[in-house]
Structure 1
Amino acid sequence: MISRKRSIQIVIAIVLLATIGSIAYNIYLSFERAGKIAVTLVTAPTDATTTFTNTATKKVTKGNSGTVYIEPGVYDISVEKKDFSSYKKTQDIAKNNTIIAELSPRTKEAADWVDKHRDQYTKLETFAGKKSLEYNKSVTDKYPLIGILPLKDPYYSIGHYKKENGEPVVVITTESPQYRYAATRRITSMGYKLSDYRIEYKDFQNPLKEKK
């Protein structure tokens, strides 16, 4: 029969081995992930396969819903599962390290599967909504004008859209140089600096250009 002292020694040895193993594993992970970006991957279905192909090096990395560590760069991203629609996008993960992909069923069997796993889609929608709120807040904190758009007038409108890199663009829509000026004056009169924003003009007609 093992003595009490011997039992304590065995327990201590097991704890020490587990601790050493945990430390060694964490050291391995720190080297393995050095210089890489943690990409948050949220997919529905969660077992869909995501393929990252570096457009420069052609290196391929695969993963599933969760966190994937890859080198900075621009990637062709595809999310696929049999009997479901695919998701494809090209993205610079150094500028946006979140991938949200909701795949739609293409067969009756896939639709039945979705009905039984609706929670996966609910979690994705909740996460997407949270990220959208976070993004909107970060944009309006940095670009407060975006928070009050769109603005409409009988002769012009001021709206915005988001570029691929996440940068907001203010869009002034009017054909008239007079109302283009009026729109920009409206922005500055509210205390916003035009130099803080990328501004595009839509439907603007240059009066010096000959009409065909």
Structure 2
Amino acid sequence: MAQTTFDLDDVKRRMQGALQSFKGDLASLRSGRASANMLDPIQVEAYGARQPLAQLATVSVPEARLLSVQVWDRSMVGPVEKAIRESDLGLNPQTEGQVLRIRIPELNEQRRKEMVKVAHKYAEESKIAVRHVRRDAIDIIKKVEKDGAFTKDDVTRQSDLVQKATDQHISEIDQALATKEKEILSV
């Protein structure tokens, strides 16, 4: 039977991955100005599968309140436009051949609150991912103990280290959320 091993660095790396994913999601939320990252979370039904918009088009920011999406394949203009319209970003693209122009409207109070709710949803998903990593790590620690490689003290020590890493990453998620919420709500 193969010996199970526990690697705290791998646990921290996986938790860091959840944090980086969350920060990428936050970057996609707009705070009043156009940003090419705004469209990153959009998935387009293309060629029989869901694909990120970045694999089908080039996004540029010609003006502070305008996004330009250059779709590479003419047959994908419709699906790209539909995916942008149906996203929770509240955007309405205008089609000009293979180019979609998206005017970024001013954020009103109601829209700002909706954006904050989306940010909180992203934060909760990231916290859940970090907790899943913690659960997996604790399961591995228990398995290593069962194999006889860890004593009770080792299990307690390693479990405490995993919990500290979890607390640190959840704290970083909360800090990033608070910063983004302040940025969204500032007029």
TM-score by length of 2: 0.26
Larger radius of gyration: 1
TM-score by length of 1: 0.23
Q: Which has the higher helix share?
A: 2
Q: Which has the higher strand share?
A: 1
